[in-house]
């Protein structure tokens, strides 16, 4: 049986993550308040950030940047896409 959470990102009750996906206090908050659907949204957004900023997740500065963006994505005003980014398949 899956667990449900009141998803902070979607603003509704939804299926929760099976296990914590990120370490530490932020990871615990995500586990308790973020749905699987919202986590998948973050993974797509994170990929955009990594590609557009040309960063490596192994770099400590890049990890700090991604963690700050994750915090904003779920619990702040949202993480914006890099300037000039156009979703594939859309016309600018």
**Backbone phi, then psi, for 8, in 5-degree steps?**
-65, -30
Matching residue, tokens 């699987």: 36
Q: How far apart are CA 68 and CA 71, in angstroms?
A: 5
- Where do the H-state alpha helices sit in the chain? 24-33, 36-53, 60-75
Query: Coil, helix or strand for 4?
Result: strand
Per CATH, which fold does 4-75 belong to? YggX-like (1.10.3880)
Domain ranges of the chain: 4-75
DSSP 3-state assignment of 79? Answer: coil
Question: Could you read off the pLDDT of 39-48 as tens digits, one per residue?
Answer: 999 999 999 9
Residue 82 to residue 48: CA distance in whole angstroms = 8
**Could you give the percent of the chain with pLDDT greater than 90?**
76
Residues of the chain with pLDDT under 50: none
């Amino acid at each position: 049986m899956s667990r449900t959470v009141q998803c902070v990102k979607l603003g509704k009750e939804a299926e929760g993550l099976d296990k914590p996906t990120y370490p530490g206090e932020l990871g615990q908050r995500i586990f308790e308040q973020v749905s699987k659907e919202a986590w998948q949204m973050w993974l797509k957004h994170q990929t955009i950030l990594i590609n557009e900023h040309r960063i490596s997740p192994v770099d400590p500065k890049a990890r700090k940047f991604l963690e700050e963006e994750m915090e904003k994505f779920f619990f702040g005003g949202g993480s914006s896409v890099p300037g000039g980014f156009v979703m594939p398949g859309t016309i600018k």
